[in-house]
Structure 1
Amino acid sequence: MGLAVRAYYGLGAEKRRGTRLVIAGGYDNRVQENVQYHKELDDLATGLGLQTATSKTVISALSIPDSIDVLFLLSVPSAFRDTLLSQSKLLLYTPVNEHFGIVPVEAMHAGLPVLASNTGGPLETIVEGETGWLRDAQVIDDWTAVMNKVLYEMDDDAIARMAASGKSRVEKEFSLTAMGDSLEVEIRDMLQKERRAFNGLQQLIAVSALSGVAISIVFALVLKMVW
């Protein structure tokens, strides 16, 4: 998340005018890590001279003044999440070496371009320059450059083409039907492959040997307890 704050700050005051970085997700104030991380991010943003605000409800989020640069939404209901995706220009997905990651897929399905770390799951889900961008999480300026591109260099037609590409990719590759078909193909391929011979004797010997080791360990422990 710190990457997102620093990259946004890199736009400069003039280009940040009329925009806002929204950091949204699950939050539990009973979890000390959540509380501490929110404070660290807020301190980072204010330390850079950005104005911040934190909202715990949808109603309070809607009343945030336009002057706020970074808005923290501590818990986001599904309906409000969908509204955020539909009203945004770009989604930043900052984790490094993350697993598959459903967030970029949800964003593309909503027609929102994604900027993500060029590691882990996004390498599979995002197509560079077609449904989003993949950048090194250590090079903040590259992330700022993509923000600037989306906000000020791409016209409405280019944005619309990317939105359509994102939706199409999700439906083709990651929808329930597509993944079900893929699973069926994998299972069919497994069933058609020649089965390996079952060497029962060797496996029984291996199991017996392991059982003997386990019994020996237990017996040794019993002796130790007796002595």
Structure 2
Amino acid sequence: MKTKHNRQALDRAQKTPATRIIRCYKTVSLEAALVMAKTIRGGRDLHLVVAGGFDSGNKENIEHNNELVGLATKLDIGNHVTFLKSPSDKKQQLLMHLCLAVVYTPENEHFGIVPIEAMYSMRPVIATNTGGPLETIEHNSTGFLCEPTGDAFGRAMLEIATSPRRTVKEMGSAGRKRVVTLFSFEAFQRGLCELLEKLVPERRGRERE
């Protein structure tokens, strides 16, 4: 978040009832995002929104949330971070619309839908250079693939924050194009048809033998 207007919109979004719960575990490595916020705080009007699932009946969720809030206080970034629990689809869409970039912190994660959603929303993605993001994100084109540390995330975010608006917009456009070309329903349908067309002649050839 960069502007007062955006923060006011975020305040309105937080008043909307949440409808989805996606449990947030320690393996998501959100600590790195908080260290990133500490790294970029000086001289930059940037605000980190930590948006993830929260189940009040899950002990691990409660403990981890308390740890993250405590770390934000320890790093002296409490006024620069908002913890948004179990955001609804409406909230997520608003966040995507308002944000400068999306930071995806899990290491060795599977495919991961968040980078896809962010790129389709024309937002650059900062993620670890492990797991699914290696396939979905094109480094220096649709976002940045980094070592899984707060300092590395911070450098990538500063790169985006200090780039001309046109450059950031071009990165967002490249992300949308990549999703439509490689990861849309039409792309999967096309790939499946090509595979079937390849398999059918091979099967017919074996039947003639």
For the residues of structure 2 that align with 1:12 and 1:35, how far apart are their CA atoms?
A: 27
Other-structure match for 1:14: 43
Alignment equivalent of 2:155, drawn from 126, 139, 145: 145
Letter in 1 for 2:165: D
2:37/2:80 contact within 8 Å kept:
no
SS at match of 1:27: coil
1:111/1:167 contact within 8 Å kept:
yes
Instruction: List, as ranges, runs of 4+ consecutive aligned residues in structure 1 with deviation greater than 4 Å.
Output: none
Other-structure match for 1:32: 59
Other-structure match for 1:76: 87
Deviation at 1:5, TM superposition (A): 0.4
SS at match of 1:134: strand
Q: Structure 1 residues 190 and 122, CA, compared in 2 at 3 Å: closer, same or farther?
A: same
Other-structure match for 2:100: 89
Provide the TM-score with structure 1 as the length reference.
0.74
Provide the TM-score with structure 2 as the length reference.
0.80
1:8/1:147 contact within 8 Å kept:
no
Aligned-residue Cα RMSD (Å) equals 1.7
**What does the per-residue CA deviation read over 1:70-98, in whole Å, with 9 as the maximum and x for residues that have no partner?**
10000111111111001101100011111
- Highest CA radius of gyration, 1 or 2? 1
SS at match of 1:119: coil
Instruction: Find out whether 1:156 has 2:165 as its counterpart.
Output: yes
Identical aligned residues as a percent: 34
SS at match of 1:13: coil
Runs of at least 5 residues in structure 1 that lack an aligned partner in the other structure: 52-67, 198-227
Deviation at 1:190, TM superposition (A): 2.9
**What does the per-residue CA deviation read over 1:115-136, in whole Å, with 9 as the maximum and x for residues that have no partner?**
0011111111100111001011
Other-structure match for 1:55: none
Instruction: Number of aligned residue pairs: give it.
Output: 177
Letter in 1 for 2:66: K
Alignment equivalent of 1:172, drawn from 148, 163, 181: 181
Bigger RCO (CA 8 Å, 6+ sep): 2
